[in-house]
Amino acid sequence: AQHVGIGSDLDGGFGTEQAPMDLESIADLQSLTAILADRGYSPADIEAIMHGNWIRRLNEIWS
C-alpha cells in the first residue's frame, strides 16, 4: 500500500473496463474507503492509499 495512490480522474474517458470493478463512476469514489476496509486493508494503509502516499511523494519531489 506504500506505492499506491488514487487519482480522481475516473471520468469514463478510458472506458469502464479501466476502472476498478466496484466503481462505476467518480461518484462511487466515496465508497472506496469502505471497500478497502471490507477487503482487509488496515486504517493506516487506507489513509496512505487515499491521500497519504500522494502527500508524501509530492513532499519528496518539492523538497
pTM of the prediction? 0.72
List the domain range (segments joined by +) for residue 39: 16-62
Gap between the Cα atoms of 17 and 7, Å rounded: 16
Report, as an integer, the average pLDDT of 43-51.
94
The pLDDT of residue 58 = 93
Residue 35 lies in a domain: yes
Q: Looking at the 3D structure of the chain, how many domains does it have? A: 1
Gap between the Cα atoms of 7 and 20, Å rounded: 12
Report, as an integer, the average pLDDT of 29-36.
89
Q: Is the pLDDT of residue 18 over 80?
A: no
Residue 1 lies in a domain: no
Residue 10 lies in a domain: no
The pLDDT of residue 2 = 81
The pLDDT of residue 14 = 63
Residue bearing cell 488514487:
6
